[in-house]
Amino acid sequence: MSHETDSAAASGTPAPAGRGAFPEASFGAVPHRFDYCPWLFFGSATAEERAAQAAWQRRLTERLAHQGGTVELAAETYVSPLAGVFTDRLRMGERSYIAAHAYVTDEVTMDRDCTVNPFAVVRGRVTLGKAVRIGAHSSLLGFNHSAAPDRPVHKQPIVSQGIEIGEDVWIGSHVVILDGVTIGAHCVVGAGAVVTKDLPAWSVVAGNPARRLRDRRDTPSRDRVATAPGREAEPAAGRAAATGRPGSLEARLERFAARAAEQAGEVLGRCRTEVPGQGPAYLDRPGAARTVRADCDAVEIAALLLGGPPPGIPAADLVARLRGLQDEKSGLIPEYGAGRPTLEDGEAMYHILCVHYALKLLGSGFPHPVRAVHELTPQELTRLLEGLPWEREAWRSGHWVDGIGTGVLVNLQDFGLRAASADTLFGWLLTHADPWHGLWGKPQPADRWLQPVNGFYRLTRGTFAQFGLPVPYPERVVDTVLTHSRDAAFFGAGRGNACNVLDVIHPLWLCAKQTGHRVAEGRDWARGQLERLLAHWRDGEGFAFALTPGVGHRHEAGLQGTEMWLAIGWLLADHLGIADALPYRPAGIHRPAPARLGL
């Protein structure tokens, strides 16, 4: 087709009458090859065709601005006049394009070299990193309806967590990506996949729901289909990873998850009690003292295994109870029966996490900001950080930072309050990480790397992981954590409790998002721990904090051990690339995805 004669606008022909705000300002009523092959525009468009496209982009910008929207288009971009672009905010980097019949709405940000091919749908709050290629007929749906039973679906409010896609991601044709999903850098999503969960960097996935087939770095890529030079290729559809072979680790994971879900009501019911004058509540284990954490652990276990609130207590009553615990003045949450909490109270600092996420899982949140954290000045925070016992008790120091980081997040996410000390927190941490071993604190003669590794996990959970920021010195962290993982005092035969294992797998899993350094060794360790975990579920009781037999409450099955090992199991499986064998994904304290601030 001759591009000199198939464009009404390019030849000076006026737009057809009656189109109102939608004149064909570029290539007219007759489709141009650039509408369906936009990648050709950047290398072969004539000066006249470029001028026509620029005119169309001006009209598009004016129309969206008139409707209250904003548009930022880099100089070298292409938007087909045949695309339905009705955004509140649109940003496109250089050499990005939107092809014919694509439907793009709401808030869409595209870095350079991003492509939205014909008939694709990009809606809601969607952010694309550099070089994200979206195949034809695919849908990125960064919004959803609520589904409460009190009204028809069409009257439900719209909710949006958004979709975030890292750089160098290849999305095949007819893919569907649902709201709330984060896709790491360098992923390949096979044609026809339905992506419902976050994908770690370098994943190759396919299927409905999408399953991880392998790490893109493990073997030479065979996904690219041979095409003519310059033409957009599509990733091969591939086959979804089948249910694991009988006896395989994947098959055993599936059987374990089914068994745990079937027994979840019994596990929770075993720990439910009646509090005089207050109604039902949860204990960590029968006969234990009542704690705030036990109620929160019950919420997390029910969310993981039952997909809803814990049975036996009306969700509204549980929400009212947890919200009512918050001290209005400080925003901290004391233990049941304790006095006014302070930043020196270790339980209150942990409650910032566990109560916040329990309320989120129940569809609610704190009634008040965490003022004790928000009101810290940079000078006060620096003094407190400097005063923590980093060398002797890196665990306790990291625990405190965990609470502070979560308080900063809660205030920003739920109340729009940005603390003056937030930059101080991250600046101090970045400048005090040891470049030789990557951690904070120092090893001690008695327990060697235990304290610094535990402190690293707790500290990064509430800061770098929660805010989606890279950790400093990830390769050194991996070296140190793997050294600790071979310490027989903690991981020898009959050793290793939930904290010990979590201290290792979370840093390895987190650092693998930044580096492939010694990842095979980490996976070998993770496989051994997962095999061990699967052998220690106790029917009708769940997990004990310490898996091996022994005397004392740590060897008794309870809510804390069950919640932690369920989350640990997911992290171990995800590090091995087989988390899709589990029907659950942590969404509380041990959630793998960073928070979505929406600011």
Letter for the amino acid at 370? V
Backbone angles phi, psi at 88, to 5 degrees: -85, -35
CA distance 107 to 87: 6
Q: Is 101 left (phi over 0), alpha (psi -120 to 50) or beta?
A: left
Which residue of the set 145, 351, 368, 575 is catalytic?
Answer: 145
Supply 187's token pair.
């992923």
CA distance 589 to 301: 11
CA distance 130 to 239: 27
Supply 137's token pair.
């007929």
Supply 197's token pair.
């969960």
Alpha helices in 486-598 (DSSP H): 488-491, 498-511, 519-534, 559-575
CA distance 425 to 428: 5
Q: C-alpha distances in angstroms, 198 versus 179, 303, 528?
A: 10, 18, 24
In the numeric block, the tokens 């969960």 are attached to 197
Backbone angles phi, psi at 108, to 5 degrees: -125, 125
The full DSSP string for 142-180 is: E-EE---TTS-GGGSPEE---EEE-SSEEE-TT-EE-TT
Exposed, middle or buried, 196 (CB in 10 Å: 0-12/13-18/19+)?
A: middle
Alpha helices in 306-443 (DSSP H): 315-324, 346-361, 371-374, 378-387, 394-415, 422-432
Residue 145 a catalytic site member = yes
Q: Could you give the dihedral angle defined by the CA atoms of residues 47, 50, 54 and 55, in that order, rounded to the nearest 10 degrees?
A: 70
CA distance 442 to 459: 15
Residue 311 CA, chain-centre distance (Å), reads 27
Query: How many helices and strands, by DSSP H and E, does the chain display?
Result: 18, 21
- List the one residue out of 181, 185, 156, 155 whose CA is nearest residue 170: 185
CA distance 316 to 309: 10
Who contacts 531 (Cβ-Cβ below 8 Å, separation ≥6)?
Answer: 249
CA distance 257 to 365: 29
Task: Report yes or no: 310 and 273 within 8 Å, Cβ to Cβ.
Answer: no
Q: C-alpha distances in angstroms, 271 versus 267, 284, 557, 558, 566?
A: 7, 6, 10, 8, 17
CA distance 295 to 277: 17
Catalytic residue set: 145
